[in-house]
């Protein structure tokens, strides 16, 4: 089962990847640079960030990311409050003259000017933050899902060079169908995790039931032993009573004679 520390580490890596920051590990410290001004303003802290995930590893200029820590809450709240639309463009280093010369040869003339026309094709990215809370444990999972009109696509933006675009460059129509499609995909992705949590809960529940049964069984056995001892003691008292009664009767008979 994933520990709380492992869950926070995974969430942190996905978070900074999602906001286009750069990060690397230095030992057990996650060093984050080139963080957007938007998040720096929201969190009230400027980068670089030196993040640790164990209270025993904290030092000067480090931020502890653990359950209940300020910086972890800031990251979660930033996602909850970040509802604006952003546009990211893939930056293809295209040299139009070079590409034209690959396929065409011009005799006695040169290309003096190239007018490049850009045509935008876009798809949507939905980022879901899912929180699993059970048995005093909390695990957060960030899941980006990309939708191209009516189908889910497998896309990893970290493999490409990107630049910020302008929202007015594309005409975003009704995104509800795409959002519904992304939510269904999210259920499919989370199903193994839900099953794992369910199995872990069932195992812990069975252990707890066995513990309770054993506890009360022991008490019941102890009670049965006490009852048995009590009955034996009563029998001994009855015998003593009978013996005493007979002795008293003999003593009375002797006096009468």
Extract the tokens encoding 60: 């000067």
pLDDT at 50: 94
Distance between CA atoms of residues 241 and 239, nearest Å: 5
What CA–CA distance (Å, rounded) separates 196 from 15?
A: 23
Alpha-carbon gap, residue 64 to 52, rounded angstroms: 5
From first to last of the 257 residues of the chain, give the pLDDT tens digit: 567 788 888 888 888 988 889 999 999 999 999 998 888 888 888 999 999 998 888 888 888 888 888 888 888 888 776 655 566 677 767 777 777 778 887 788 877 777 777 666 777 888 887 877 777 777 778 788 888 878 898 887 777 777 666 666 666 677 788 888 888 999 999 898 888 888 888 888 888 877 777 776 766 666 666 667 766 766 766 666 566 555 544 444 444 44
Per-residue confidence (pLDDT) for residue 252, from 0 to 100: 41
Range list of H helices, the chain: 4-18, 37-43, 70-81, 96-103, 176-256
Residues facing residue 145 across a β-bridge: 126
Instruction: Please count the other Cβ atoms lying within 10 Å of the Cβ belonging to residue 189.
Output: 15
């Amino acid at each position: 089962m994933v520990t709380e520390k492992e869950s926070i580490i995974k969430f942190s890596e996905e978070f900074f990847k999602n906001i286009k920051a750069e990060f690397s590990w230095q030992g057990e410290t996650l060093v984050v640079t080139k963080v957007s001004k938007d998040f720096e303003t929201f969190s009230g802290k400027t980068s670089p960030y030196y993040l640790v995930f164990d209270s025993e590893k904290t030092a000067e200029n480090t931020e502890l990311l653990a359950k209940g820590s300020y910086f972890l809450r800031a990251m979660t709240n930033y996602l909850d409050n970040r509802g604006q639309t952003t546009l990211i463009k893939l930056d293809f280093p295209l040299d139009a003259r070079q590409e034209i010369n690959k396929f065409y040869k011009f005799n006695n003339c040169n290309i003096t000017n190239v007018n490049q026309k850009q045509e935008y094709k876009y798809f949507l990215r939905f980022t879901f933050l899912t929180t699993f809370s059970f048995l005093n444990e909390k695990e957060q999972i960030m899941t980006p899902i990309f939708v191209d009109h009516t189908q889910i696509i497998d896309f990893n933006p970290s493999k490409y060079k990107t630049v910020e675009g302008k929202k007015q460059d594309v005409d975003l129509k009704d995104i509800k169908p795409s959002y519904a499609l992304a939510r269904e995909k999210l259920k499919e992705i989370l199903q193994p995790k839900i099953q794992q949590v369910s199995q872990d809960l069932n195992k812990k529940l069975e252990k707890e039931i066995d513990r309770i049964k054993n506890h009360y069984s022991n008490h019941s056995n102890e009670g049965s032993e006490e009852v048995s001892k009590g009955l034996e003691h009563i029998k001994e008292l009855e015998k003593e009573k009978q013996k005493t009664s007979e002795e008293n009767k003999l003593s009375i008979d002797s006096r009468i004679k």
